Amino acid sequence: MSTHAQTEARQIRGRLKHPIIDADGHWAEFNPLMRQEFRRIGGDTAVEALDMASARIPNSLNMSVAERRRRRIGQEAFWFLPTKNTLDRATAMMPPLLYERLDDLGLDFCVIYPTAGLGYYRLPPEKHRRALCRAYNVFTAEQFRPFSDRIIPAAIIPMFSPDEAIEELEFASKQLGLRVVMMGSLIRRPIPALQEEHPEAAKFVEWYDPIAIDSAHDYEPVWEKLRELRIAPSFHNGARSILLRNSPSNFCYNHIGHFASASEAMAKAIFFGGVTRRFPELNFAFLEGGVGWACSLYADLIGHWEKRKRDALENTNPARLDRKGLLELAQKYAQPAMVDAVRRGEGLDDNGDGTGGVEDLDDYSRCKITRKEDFRDLYVKRYYFGCEADDPINAWAFNRKANPMGARLNAFFSSDIGHFDVPDMTEVVPEAYELVEHGLLDDNDFRDFMFANAVRFWGEVNPDFFKGTVVETQAAAVLAR
């Protein structure tokens, strides 16, 4: 079977004056090889953890629809790796083959994220979770190290507690030399009231901790460690098969929008938690959810701030109600029953006199926003959004006429090669280029989408990120501007 071809992707790349960086490809980890290597790396505990993680989704797929409905378990992904396209399946499994085919795919440099490992950071108990993430990071680093001039893998960082996150960040960065991390997020935790009042039911009900606001732990040391290590964190979390995406029979119902939903939750938490204000040296990426949700959130954050900032709250402050004036109007226009009630002061607290005991009524207080333009520094400049090639909504990010204050959001190319939604790896670059052919992006927009935004995401935090890679010179030119 030939592994080289004069593909359209190769031809498009040949016409461009800039490299192409794939900010989010995936490989298909081969379980038998992982078991062998995990035992070498982490012993029996790592293998036990791998078996526990591997059994989760198959268990639900072995249930009938009726049983999943009875248990309210969502239909999970089946047949999610390439099969008909044997070459692509082998490419996803074998790093040397991916490296050999990069030119055919039109890619100069590729960042690779897990497939099976996407959920490893969620595995309890702690002993197995930490062993699993550690073994995976060592295994992945070893698998891709010979190809580091064009491919770099992401380390999995468990986030159940700040201590385990910091320990793995230190190890992945200093011992393994990894520069990309996938941070755990939306951590599932028990509800304290249920543990105290209904302990028998507590294990069945969880809440999702977005770690940056109202968390069970203080994650400030984690952000500080990221700053110290010069690592820009990526979030690749989903919300499939939970809450409003919990069909026991329809995977697509559960899958559509789930990455966007999880990304929005994390982006809001980081923003409202003031993390981008306190750590302006960090950039944050939210992967595989596209950019439509990000454009909408950007506009919503500004719109809510205009109505809910501290001085704007005076428009609804119950103390600002002119009760005498209201009575005069009621006497002129209202029925007698209303007049009598207003005179007694009844029915006037429907605006909500209580405030819930929050320390600061301004929800934006941690962001310390003093003017509308602050949203550019705290959101537009700090956030990056992974977008797949076939999504026409990608153009929204670059539409200054549509976004408040003429903003361009930092969308970057994220191929998702290795998964079911990419039936042919050679087609992702041509699909992305259709935005130019259809007049939705110009050449400068396309350059930012396919190259420069990825350079800025990692390179602004770590200027040495691209040293030793095939795009080192061109990346340095972007960062020098």
pLDDT at residue 359 in the model: 85
Average pLDDT over residues 119-126: 89
Residue 326 within any structural domain of the chain? yes
Contact 21, 450 (CB under 8 A): yes
Q: Does residue 226 fall inside a structural domain?
A: no
The pLDDT confidence band at residue 351, using thresholds 50, 70 and 90, is: low
Residue 396 in any domain: the answer is: no
User: Would you say residue 101 lies in a domain?
Assistant: no
Candidates 85, 70, 94, 213; CA nearest to 151 is 94
Non-local CB neighbours of 318 within 8 Å, separated by 6+ positions? 348, 349, 351, 352, 353
> What's the pTM value of the predicted model, to 2 decimals?
0.95
Task: List, for residues 174-217, the tens digit of each pLDDT value.
Answer: 999 999 999 999 999 999 999 999 999 888 889 999 999 999 99
Domain encompassing residue 340: 317-344
Beta strands in 118-159 (DSSP E): 151-157
- Report helix, strand or coil for 138: helix
Q: What is the pLDDT of residue 5?
A: 77
Sign of CA dihedral 138, 144, 149, 150: negative
Q: Is 333 part of a structural domain of the chain?
A: yes
Task: Tell whether 169 is covered by a domain.
Answer: no
Residues ≥6 apart with Cβ < 8 Å to 188: 122, 206, 207, 208, 209
CB within 8 Å of 279: residues ≥ 6 apart: 223, 224, 226, 227
Q: How many domains does the chain have?
A: 1
